[in-house]
Chain A
Amino acid sequence: MTAAADTRDVIARAQRVAAQAMAPHHGGRVARWAAWGAGLAALVAMGGDLGFSSERLLSGILRAGHLITLMWPPTPAGQAAAIFKALGQTIAMAFLGTALVVVLALPLGIVGARTIVQQPVVHFLLRRLFDAARTIPSLVWAMILVAAFGLGPRVGVTAMVLAETPYLAKLFAETMENRRQGVIESLQAAGATRLQVLRYGLMPEVLPLMTGKALLLFESNIRASAALGLVGAGGIGVLLDSRIELLQLDQVAWILMLFIILVLTIDLSSQALRRRLINAKSYNLKGMDADA
């Protein structure tokens, strides 16, 4: 038999054995390519709608280059004191804001966890409420609060609390829901009450995780509170805004450098703290020989 006839034979046999696998998949592949193509086309269309064009991009790049040259050399222009004060205010806002959010999100998270409140309807409504509440970014809250209550970091902190409590509450609730069924059962099997099961089975796992999330929130809050200054809610935002408007980009660069150093320091320490929370510490009763 010729080689070609052999091949035909093999294919024919394969088709008998697994007809579906051998069926041509052209339909599927065409559909996939079409989907990717459509997605790309949609993306380009959206880009155009948003104002993207090659001329704008080109002129933008040139202008960006010019702006970068304005940033050198970075200088505080004699306002170092004011800048430090504003930075301090930013951090203070972030810290206080995080603390308040944690305090408020804790009870909400507990209530929102399926492990604690098992009523399906209540659980569902609560979680939808969290989802709806966390859609409004803190800046949006800050704007209207400033318009209503005036300028100042107090308003900024309030805006952060309003925007982030539902977010952290949801994170807390989810952490509390990821419990290990086996451990819970073994505690029940030992005769523990519901509260004891939570205290011994849930809390030890959950507390370090939640603290870690709170630390992460603090990190991101520093950036958030910097932004809030824009609308007058205190911190470094105001300074940055005015400097950028006036194209005093060398000052902007100086402020940004300081800010970056600050954030990096806090990020690193928070990382170290988080690692320490998770790591096992073994307290060995050294020097104890089994003499029994």
Chain B
Amino acid sequence: MPVTANTGIVGLFEDRRRQLLLRGRAETLATVSILSILLFASARISEFLSGDYGDAPLARVAEFLQRMNPHLKPALLFAGSGAQGSLAYWFYAFPKWARALFTSVEMAIVATAVGTVLAFLISLLMARTVTRSAAIRQTTRWLPNLVRTMPGFIFAMLLVQAVGSGPMAGTLALTCTCFAGLARPFAEILENADVGPMESVRAAGGGRCAQIRYGLLPLVAPNMLTYVFAWIEINVSASTALGIVGAGGIGQELAGALAYNQFDSYLAIMIMIAMVVVGADLASEQIRHRLFGLRQAR
């Protein structure tokens, strides 16, 4: 196929390309070096590479797994709780643990509910489409961001000092993190929402409240609920850990099991936690199916 070559253009292109290639390679080299240095430094500081693994580290791992092993005997699987090797023996404190898990789930639900409401309210103040005053927006923005930077357990510990140990402190702590975590996504959803419907309500004579209620909410509700559902799962997982600082729930049972060196009980509780969180996952997926139709639910 006859093609009239314009070597001028090709030459120019190759020059520029070489330039960019070199620059790109230099950048890559710099990035890789920095990352390597950081990696090495962090490995040193966290004593990952210190080499002192004690004697026979693999044996210790094996021993650890052995201690978690409940030594189930197939013949005795369904025997009573007195019989070593049965499921009942392994899950000997099942009622107590179930109750504690239930508490943890309750904590998560209440925290998510209250946190959602609070986050929604503050997001209204943070969003450009709802609040016209830039001053209000800027001042309200820093609160959730501040709360977000702190790990949840700090709140839990401080609240335990304030209201005493128990699930109340944990719920309040979860509420704080949930509120902070939802505020920003809510605000973004509100800002990215199409203002069209709101304006048409305004054109029909609706006041601010009506505009929000009829023009904005139906639009943003599905997106917001997606985040809420994600946070329910996060909260259920987090609430199980909070018990460790005395903030109620299954965490306290976990700490107790370790205090008595009952590794197999620990494993039993971990399995129960896994089942509950997976259950919460599935339940929320079902609810999302119903509410939004198959297309939106993941």
Residues of A within 8 A of B (CB): 43, 46-47, 49-52, 56-57, 59-60, 63-64, 67, 88-89, 91-93, 95-96, 99, 128, 131-133, 135-137, 139-140, 143-144, 147-149, 152-154, 156-157, 174, 223-224, 226-227, 230-231, 234, 237, 240-241, 244, 247, 256, 259-260, 263-264, 267, 283, 285, 288, 291-292
Instruction: Report chain B residues within 8 Å CB of A292.
Output: 6, 8-9
A231 in contact with B107 given A93-B46, A244-B158 (CB within 8 Å):
no
Cα separation A278 to B255 with both chains bound (whole Å): 44
The tally of CB-CB contacts under 8 A between chains A and B is 174
Instruction: Report chain A residues within 8 Å CB of B189.
Output: none
Instruction: Report chain B residues within 8 Å CB of A267.
Output: 149
A283 engages B46 (CB within 8 Å): no
B67 engages A153 (CB within 8 Å): no
Q: Main SS of the interface on chain B?
A: helix
A88 engages B168 (CB within 8 Å): no
A140 engages B107 (CB within 8 Å): no
Instruction: Report chain A residues within 8 Å CB of B48.
Output: 96, 153-154, 157
- A selection of 16 A-B contacts at a CB cut-off of 8 Å is A43-B113, A46-B110, A49-B106, A51-B248, A63-B162, A64-B158, A67-B158, A92-B41, A140-B270, A140-B273, A144-B266, A147-B261, A154-B48, A231-B244, A260-B149, A288-B9
Cα separation A223 to B155 with both chains bound (whole Å): 12
Cβ-closest chain B residue relative to A39? B113
Cα separation A237 to B153 with both chains bound (whole Å): 9
Q: Of the 9-residue stretches B85-93, B128-136, B218-226, B234-242, which lies at the interface with chain A?
A: B234-242
B168 engages A260 (CB within 8 Å): no
| Pairs of residues from A and B, 4 with the lowest C-beta to C-beta distance, nearest first | A135-B277, A60-B163, A92-B45, A92-B42
Cα separation A235 to B235 with both chains bound (whole Å): 24
Cα separation A230 to B157 with both chains bound (whole Å): 11
Q: A63-B162, A260-B146 are known contacts; what are 13 more A-B pairs with Cβ within 8 Å?
A: A43-B113, A47-B110, A57-B163, A95-B42, A137-B238, A137-B240, A144-B68, A153-B48, A154-B47, A226-B151, A230-B245, A285-B12, A285-B16
Instruction: Report chain B residues within 8 Å CB of A259.
Output: 149-150
| 151-198 of chain B: CB within 8 A of chain A | 151-154, 157-159, 161-164, 166-168, 171
- Answer whether residue B258 sits at the interface, using C-beta atoms and an 8 A cutoff: yes
Cβ-closest chain B residue relative to A281? B20
Shortest Cβ gap from A29 to chain B (Å): 16
- Answer whether residue B227 sits at the interface, using C-beta atoms and an 8 A cutoff: no
A63 engages B161 (CB within 8 Å): yes
Instruction: Report chain B residues within 8 Å CB of A226.
Output: 151
Instruction: Report chain A residues within 8 Å CB of B273.
Output: 135-136, 140
- Answer whether residue B103 sits at the interface, using C-beta atoms and an 8 A cutoff: yes
Among A132, A139, A224, the residue within 8 A (CB) of B274 is A132
The 8 A CB mask of B232-263 against A (1 = contact, 0 = none) is 00000110110011001001001100100101
B47 engages A148 (CB within 8 Å): no
A50 engages B103 (CB within 8 Å): yes
Shortest Cβ gap from A110 to chain B (Å): 19
Shortest Cβ gap from B146 to chain A (Å): 7
Cβ-closest chain A residue relative to B103? A50
B9 engages A256 (CB within 8 Å): no
Taking residues whose C-beta sits less than 8 angstroms from the other chain, chain B's interface range is 35 or more
Cα separation A267 to B6 with both chains bound (whole Å): 50
Among A50, A57, A174, the residue within 8 A (CB) of B248 is A50
- Answer whether residue B39 sits at the interface, using C-beta atoms and an 8 A cutoff: yes
- Answer whether residue B64 sits at the interface, using C-beta atoms and an 8 A cutoff: yes
The 8 A CB mask of B8-30 against A (1 = contact, 0 = none) is 11001100100010000000000
Residues of B within 8 A of A (CB): 6, 8-9, 12-13, 16, 20, 38-39, 41-48, 60, 64, 67-68, 103, 106-107, 109-110, 113, 145-146, 149-154, 157-159, 161-164, 166-168, 171, 237-238, 240-241, 244-245, 248, 251, 254-255, 258, 261, 263, 266, 270, 273-274, 276-278, 281, 298
Cα separation A226 to B152 with both chains bound (whole Å): 10
Instruction: Report chain B residues within 8 Å CB of A47.
Output: 110, 171
B241 engages A140 (CB within 8 Å): yes
B67 engages A227 (CB within 8 Å): no
B278 engages A132 (CB within 8 Å): yes
Instruction: Report chain A residues within 8 Å CB of B8.
Output: 291-292
Cβ-closest chain A residue relative to B23? A283
A223 in contact with B150 given A43-B110, A96-B48 (CB within 8 Å):
yes
Cα separation A157 to B161 with both chains bound (whole Å): 29
Instruction: Report chain B residues within 8 Å CB of A174.
Output: 298
Shortest Cβ gap from A86 to chain B (Å): 11
A50 engages B107 (CB within 8 Å): yes
Shortest Cβ gap from A26 to chain B (Å): 21
A240 engages B103 (CB within 8 Å): no
A247 engages B161 (CB within 8 Å): yes
Cα separation A230 to B46 with both chains bound (whole Å): 16
B274 engages A67 (CB within 8 Å): no
Shortest Cβ gap from A249 to chain B (Å): 8
Cα separation A240 to B153 with both chains bound (whole Å): 10
Instruction: Report chain B residues within 8 Å CB of A135.
Output: 237, 273-274, 276-278
Instruction: Report chain A residues within 8 Å CB of B109.
Output: 43, 46
Cα separation A143 to B163 with both chains bound (whole Å): 25
